[in-house]
Amino acid sequence: MLIDNISIAIVGGGPAGLTLARLLQLKNANVKVFERDFNKETRVQGSPLDMHEDSGLAALRKADLLEEFKKTYRPGADKTLIMNEQAEILFSDHDTKPEEDFGAEHFRPEIDRGPLRNMLLESLQPDTVVWDSHCISMEPQNEGWILHFKNGTSAYADLVIASDGAHSKIRPYLTDSKPIYSGVIMLEGMVSKEHAPNINALINGGKIMAFGNSKNILMGQKGNGDLGFYASFKADENWAANSRLNFSDNTAVFQWFKTEYPEWNKVWYELFENATTPFIPRPIYAMPLDQNWESKSNLTLMGDAAHVMPPFAGEGANMAMLDALELSEHLTDDRYSTLQEALSHYEINMRKRAAAATKESLDNGERMHSATALATMLEFFTGHVI
């Protein structure tokens, strides 16, 4: 195989990087994952992930981890409420959605990021992940690269695979493509269920999507009961700095919410009054739909490093894990005579499907922040014009 007798460095230990490491180790590859987190105990941030049948779940099947996933995912966490700004429930699938339906096209089981990472880590050979390895630069050496890390260490690899996120330090060595601002800010907060009893009773372990006045509140419940939520709205890219908000001050952010979401019911107040600070403003970016580059024999991209996209179609992690699946197959396919040929075929297909998913996400983001967002989302979920 093409990967026989070469060293492979995966930069970034998110779902895609760890999935790829697992798939390559099943093919006896010499692979290391360089992860910036200090150790495996570092808390994994972010909302739960929903796995799709033809991407995330397909990768887990190939990695022989589906049965382990079934022990770890959260049945019922994909159940959804669609609400208006007055907290009136206009759609619910809580009583109709099956808790388990693996193999069905539209079944999207959810898993918290921490348990997913732990499952993938436990599937790897000991010492596969090199912690506290924040890659800041690299340089060519022989047929490969020397990677330099923030902690002062370095490492050599014949093949480098960048999985280090939207602000990848590796991407510029392959392409000058840069993320473009989508026009949407998502202000992330977290609150314990005890401090948001009314919302906790509504969400009931699932998800809430609330729409009103071209703004959203999107939220899901984590396995420990905490409620992760986002106030999502159109704003200037530099909104966080220009707002002069202290995102560690609940009172200030709560006052901002009351001012900017004036039509919204007071039931939402408990999220902002009682949140665990700091809030995190997240400008949402996407890669250009027409990005292209000339393939190399010793470097490629995957996940957000290749195609960061808005979260409005639930495709980000799924596309990244599909990258891992397809890249592993290309690297172990004897039809290709060189690494550059294999990587070129992978990248052409990856860019095409990522562009389609990005466009879907961007289009959904526009719909979700329009004046008709509520009616549009109800039509999507019910199949009926409201």
Instruction: For residue 218, tell me if it sits in a domain.
Output: yes
Instruction: For residue 40, tell me if it sits in a domain.
Output: yes
The answer on whether 74 is annotated among ligand-binding residues is no
Instruction: For residue 382, tell me if it sits in a domain.
Output: no
Instruction: For residue 383, tell me if it sits in a domain.
Output: no
Quick one: 230 and 250 in the same domain? Answer: yes
Quick one: 19 and 119 in the same domain? Answer: yes
Q: How confident is the model at residue 383 (pLDDT cuts 50, 70, 90)?
A: confident
Q: What is the model's pLDDT at position 46?
A: 73
End-to-end Cα spacing for the chain:
56
Residue 282 maps to which CATH number? 3.30.9.30
Domain count for the chain, please give it.
2
Quick one: 14 and 63 in the same domain? Answer: yes
The answer on whether 304 is annotated among ligand-binding residues is yes
Please say whether the beta carbons of 300 and 174 come within 8 A.
Answer: yes
Instruction: For residue 100, tell me if it sits in a domain.
Output: no
Quick one: 211 and 173 in the same domain? Answer: no
Q: Give the pTM.
A: 0.94
pLDDT over 90 percentage in the chain: 89
* Distance (Å, whole) CA 183 – CA 237: 7
Instruction: Give the structural domain span for 270.
Output: 180-286
Quick one: 34 and 143 in the same domain? Answer: yes
Quick one: 174 and 185 in the same domain? Answer: no
The answer on whether 113 is annotated among ligand-binding residues is yes
pLDDT digits (tens, 9 = 90+) for 260-298: 999 999 999 999 999 998 999 999 999 999 999 999 999
Quick one: 210 and 324 in the same domain? Answer: no
pLDDT digits (tens, 9 = 90+) for 319-366: 999 999 999 999 999 999 999 999 999 999 999 999 999 999 999 999
Quick one: 143 and 62 in the same domain? Answer: yes
Q: What is the model's pLDDT at position 44?
A: 72
Quick one: 126 and 253 in the same domain? Answer: no
Quick one: 156 and 266 in the same domain? Answer: no
Please say whether the beta carbons of 216 and 225 come within 8 A.
Answer: no
Quick one: 271 and 150 in the same domain? Answer: no
Instruction: For residue 266, tell me if it sits in a domain.
Output: yes
The answer on whether 158 is annotated among ligand-binding residues is no
